[in-house]
Structure 1
Amino acid sequence: MTSKVISIVLGGGQGSRLFPLTATRSKPAVPIAGKYRLVDIPISNCLHSNITRIFVLTQFNSASLNKHIKNTYHFSSFSDAFVDILAAEQTPTSGHWFQGTADAVRQSLHHLSVHEFEYVLILSGDQLYQMDFDKMIQAHVEAGAEISIASIPVHANDVPGFGILKTDSDNNITEFIEKPKSNFESWASEVSPEMAAEGRVYLASMGIYLFNKQTLYDLLNGNDHPDFGKEIIPQSIHTHKVISYQYEGYWTDIGTIPSFFEANLGLTDEIPEFNLYGNKPIYTRARMLPPSKISGTHLDRTIISEGCIINAASIVHSLVGIRTRIGFETNIESCYVMGSDNYQTLEQIAHAKEHNEPIMGIGDRCNIKNAIIDKNCYIGNDVTINCGEKLPDGDFPTYTVQDGIVVVKKRAVIPNGTVI
Structure 2
Amino acid sequence: MPSDTLILILAQDRGPGLDALTRQRTKAAVPFGGKYRVIDFTLANCLHSGLRQVLVLTQYKSHSLQKHLRDGWSIFNPELGEFITPVPPQMRECQDWYLGPFDAIRQNRYLIERNRASQVLVLQGGAIYRMDYAELARAHRETGAAITVATRAVPEPGSGRQARAVLDAGERILELHAPEPADVDGEGSEQQETMGVYLFDKALLLDALARYERGISPDTDLALDVIAPLTASQPVHAYRFGQTRGRVTPDRYWCDLTSIDAYYQANMALLRAEPPLDLYQPDWTILTYQGQHPPARTVPGPHSGTEGVFVNSMLAAGTVISGGGVNHSILFPQVRVEDGAIVEASILFQGVKVGAGAHLRQCIVEKDVVVAPGDQIGFDARRDRERFAVSPEGIVVVSGEDGQTRGLA
SS at match of 1:113: helix
What residue number does 1:236 align with?
230
Distance 1:372 1:339, change over 3 A: same
**Is contact 2:324-2:337 (8 Å) kept?**
no
Mapped partners of 2:101, 2:36: distance in 1: 24
Opposite residue 369 of structure 2, the aligned amino acid is C
Deviation at 1:399, TM superposition (A): 2.4
Q: How far apart are the structure 2 equivalents of 1:172 and 1:186? A: 14
1:178-222 superposed Cα distances (whole Å, 9 cap, x missing partner): 12223x2244685xxxxxxxxxx2101101111011111011112
5 Å-filtered alignment, 1:113-152, equals 113-152=113-152
What CA distance in whole angstroms lies between the structure 1 residues aligned with 2:71 and 2:45? Answer: 19
Q: Alpha-carbon deviation of 1:238?
A: 1.6
1:166 counterpart SS class: strand
Q: Percent identity?
A: 27
What TM-score does the superposition give when structure 1 sets the normalisation length? 0.86
Distance 1:392 1:138 in 2: 55
Q: 2:308–2:325: 8 Å Cα contact kept in structure 1? A: yes
For residues 266-281 of structure 1, the aligned pairs below 5 Å read: 266-279=269-282, 280-281=284-285
Q: Is the 8 A contact 1:8 1:120 kept in 2?
A: yes
Partner of 1:310: 321
Distance in 2, matches of 1:367 and 1:393, equals: 13
Q: Deviations over 1:7-63 (max 9, x none)?
A: 111014232410121011100011111211111110111001000110100111111
Alpha-carbon distance in structure 2 between the residues aligned to 1:268 and 1:158: 28
Moved over 3 A (4+): 155-160, 186-190, 390-394, 410-415
1:8 corresponds to 2:8: yes
- For residues 377 and 57 of structure 1, the distance between their equivalents in structure 2, rounded to whole angstroms, comes to 30
- 1:282 & 1:188 partners in 2: Cα distance? 40
- Superposed CA deviations along residues 82-137 of structure 1, whole A, max 9, x for unmatched, are 1100102322x223121222111011121233321011111111101011111111
Kindly indicate whether residue 308 of structure 2 is the aligned counterpart of residue 297 of structure 1: yes
The corresponding residue for 1:60 is: 60
Q: Unpaired runs of 5+ in structure 1? A: 191-200, 341-359, 416-420
Give the root-mean-square deviation of aligned CA atoms. Answer: 2.0
CA contact (8 A) 1:305 1:321 kept: yes
Aligned-pair distance for 1:78? 3.3
What's the TM-score, normalizing by structure 2? 0.88
Decide whether the 8 Å contact of 2:378 with 2:384 is kept in 1: no
Length, aligned pairs only: 381
Distance 1:35 1:155, change over 3 A: closer
Using a 3 Å threshold, how does the CA distance of structure 1 residues 412 and 69 change in structure 2: closer, same or farther? farther
Q: Please say if residues 258 and 405 of structure 1, whose CA atoms lie closer than 8 Å, have aligned partners that are also in contact.
A: yes
> 1:18-417, aligned counterparts within 5 Å?
18-74=18-74, 75-76=76-77, 78-91=79-92, 93-159=93-159, 161-182=161-182, 184-187=183-186, 201-224=190-213, 225=216, 226-248=220-242, 249-279=252-282, 280-295=284-299, 296-340=307-351, 361-388=353-380, 394=385, 399-403=388-392, 404-409=394-399, 413-414=403-404
Three-state SS of the structure 2 residue aligned to 1:46 is helix
Q: Is the 8 A contact 1:339 1:361 kept in 2?
A: no
Seen in structure 2, the aligned counterparts of structure 1 residues 60 and 77 have a Cα distance that, compared at 3 Å, is closer
- Matched-pair contact (CA < 8 Å) for 1:307–1:322: yes
Is the deviation greater in 404-413 or in 137-146? 404-413
Cα drift, residue 141 of structure 1: 0.5
Residue matched to 2:247: none
> Aligned with 1:99: secondary structure?
coil
User: Aligned equivalents of 2:48 and 2:187: distance in 1?
Assistant: 32
User: Contact 1:34–1:305 at 8 Å: present in 2 too?
Assistant: yes
The Cα shift of 1:391 comes to: 5.3
Alpha carbons 1:393, 1:402 under 8 Å: kept: no
AA aligned to 2:211 is G
Structure 2: stretches of 5+ with no match in the other structure: 243-251, 300-306
Partner in structure 2 of residue 344 of structure 1: none
Structure 1 Cα separation of the partners of residues 347 and 154 of structure 2: 27
Contact 1:373 1:408 in 2 (8 A): yes
In 2, the alpha carbon distance for the partners of 1:361 and 1:230 equals 46
Moved more, 74-83 or 18-27: 74-83
**Would the aligned equivalents of 2:176 and 2:223 in 1 still touch at CA under 8 Å?**
no
Determine if contact 2:77/2:83 at 8 Å carries over to the other structure. no
1:73 Cα deviation after fit? 1.6
How much does 1:162 deviate? 2.3
The change in CA–CA distance for 1:298 and 1:162 in structure 2 (over 3 A counts) is same
Distance (whole Å) between structure 2 residues aligned to residue 302 and residue 246 of structure 1: 33
